[in-house]
Amino acid sequence: MPRKMTKSASTSTPRSSSKRPAQDTPSRQSKRARAAARKSYAEPDTDDGDEVTVKKAVSATDGDDVSEAFGFDDASDGEASSESEQEDVTSDEDGTSKKATRRGKSTKKSLPIHKKSVDEKELWKTGAKLAPGTQLIIKKPKAREAGDTPFTDETIHPNTMLFLKDLAANNDRQWLKLHDPDFRAAFQDFTTFTEKVSEKVVEADELIPELPVKDVIYRIYRDIRFSKDPTPYKTYFSAAWSRTGRKGPYAHYYVQIQPGGGSFVGGGFWQPEAATLAKLRRDIDRKPHKIKNVLNNTDIRRVFLRDVADNEKKAVQAFTNLPSNKSNALKRHPKGYDQNHIEIELLRLRNFTLGTKVPDREVVGPGGLNRVAELVACLVPFISYLNSVVMPDEDPSDSSENDEDDEDSNRGEH
């Protein structure tokens, strides 16, 4: 017989479970919906008038969202806080409510404006101190007006000399940055003038090729890595011409524009390499008459050697006593030459240069280009001699026998 069930199905208890019933997952709501759900920042259940806290906006960039989150206009009628209570809260927390503005609109604070005047150099110098929030307005600099004298390619404008004079008094990166328009105008004026000088140099010396101006003009920045002078800029504009431009093994023509009588036209070798210097000394030892004839040239004596008499010995003495040549000459005889050598003064030299200063009145104006061209033409015999020794065009083997004869004759005179 089937066994009778002792308990009915209706009385059976459900099996217990250790797991908690799953919580209802909150539905995602937008900021606008959450803002609408809020009715007030005051707690409705407080009976003793606790202090009401005001939420602050996290970021000023959430302008519209913040204004909706405040919910000033969404308070319900069943709230415990009344309009008078809200006014009390506002009066109690006046300092806090000023920071968080109504409806997210930020109030613009007007900063004190400090206009830079000419004599307030401390404002743009390194380490200048200003009050917090101070707004500094500096007008964009402009170049000097040309005045009655127009800029032309064949002349140096007076403004160029004025800029170089000011740069000498304010040789500083910050100053030049503030006067960049004046620098650009002055440098462009010198660049166009250099192009015209290049034409004159090519006419005077046919061995100088036509080169772009960037290959002959020098930059205004100084190399201060090994210098005791920390000033970053040269106080002059300069350019040099040779068969390879401002660089290379050849002798150069050199033009410098500087106010205060510092303008200069010259040429030659300034601190040449050891191989170049050895070739010059060798030529002086074997053929001293070549350099003596050049130094005794009428134009060279008149322009660069203070118009000395027509005498080779006096011309050589004037050449070796030039400050540019005498400044770093050897005190004793060079290695390989006797100290009683008849041309010892020339052999001691380490610079072989000629040059003369040009007054400002001769540089500025319509006559400046012709004056520079005249001085360059006087240098041609000297530059040609130096290049013929250092970088000869002919084959040295063609004249080897003559060199030996000259060497024997010169040594016999010693």
| The pLDDT of residue 165 | 97
**pLDDT score for 265:** 98
Beta-strand relationship, 252-257 and 263-269: antiparallel
pLDDT computed for residue 268 by the predictor = 97
Contact 386, 254 (CB under 8 A): no
Let me know: does 280 contact 363? Beta carbons within 8 Å. no
The yes-or-no verdict on residue 39 having pLDDT over 70 is: no
pLDDT for the residue 5: 52
The whole-number average pLDDT for the span 272-289 is: 96
Highest-confidence segment of 65-74, 106-115, 178-187: 178-187
Is the model's pLDDT at 43 over the cut of 80? no
Look up tokens 């004056």; give the residue.
Answer: 371
- Amino acid letter, 3: R
Q: Which pLDDT value is given to residue 139?
A: 75
* % of the chain surpassing 90 pLDDT: 56
* CA 356 – CA 306 distance, rounded (Å): 9
- Mean pLDDT of the region 189-201: 97
The mean pLDDT value for 389-405 works out to 61
Q: Which of 347, 221, 340, 230 is nearest to 284 (CA)?
A: 347
Phi, psi of 265 (to 5 degrees): -130, 125
Asked whether the predicted pLDDT for residue 198 surpasses 60, the reply is: yes
What mean pLDDT comes out for the span 3-11?
A: 49
pLDDT band of 26, cuts 50, 70, 90: low
pLDDT, position 37: 56
User: Which of 38-47, 149-158, 198-207, 390-399 has the weakest average pLDDT?
Assistant: 38-47
- Which residue, among 320, 346, 323, has the nearest Cα to 333 in the 3D structure? 346
Q: Give the 3-state secondary structure of residue 241.
A: strand
191 with 217: CB under 8 angstroms? yes
Which residues are paired to 358 by β-bridges? 263
**Higher per-residue pLDDT: 126 or 390:** 390
What pLDDT score does 45 carry? 47
77 compared with 403, residue with greater pLDDT: 403
- What residues pair up with 238 in beta bridges, in sequence order? 256
Residue 36: predicted pLDDT: 57
Q: Mean pLDDT across the stretch 102-122?
A: 55
Instruction: Determine the pLDDT at residue 3.
Output: 53
Average of per-residue pLDDT across 268-276: 95
What average pLDDT does this structure show over 28-55? 51
* Residue 231: predicted pLDDT: 94
- Backbone φ, ψ for residue 41 (5° rounding): -85, -5
Residue type at 102 in one-letter notation? R
Residue 367 CA to residue 373 CA, distance in Å, equals 10
Residue 244 pLDDT grade (very low, low, confident, very high; cuts 50, 70, 90): very high
- Which own/partner pairs from 218-227 qualify as long-range (CB within 8 Å, at least 24 positions apart)? 218/246, 220/183, 220/187
Nearest alpha carbon to residue 212 among 236, 250, 186, 246 = 246
Which span out of 65-79, 92-106, 126-140 was modeled with the highest average pLDDT? 126-140
Count CB neighbours of 193 within 10 A: 27
Query: Is the model's pLDDT at 27 over the cut of 70?
Result: no
Residue 147: the pLDDT is 87
pLDDT at position 411, please?
Answer: 46
Averaged pLDDT, 40-67: 43
pLDDT in tens, 312-363: 999 999 999 999 999 999 999 999 999 999 999 999 999 999 999 999 999 9
CA distance 375 to 356: 9
Mean pLDDT for all residues in the chain: 78
Q: Which residues pair with 203 in a beta bridge?
A: none
In the prediction, which pLDDT does 177 show?
92
Report how far residue 325's alpha carbon sits from residue 6's, in angstroms, rounded to the nearest whole number.
134
Q: How far is CA 264 from CA 335, 375, 381, in A?
A: 33, 10, 19
The 10s digit of each residue's pLDDT in 360-386 is 999 998 899 999 999 999 999 999 999
For residue 137, what are the β-bridge partners?
Answer: 115
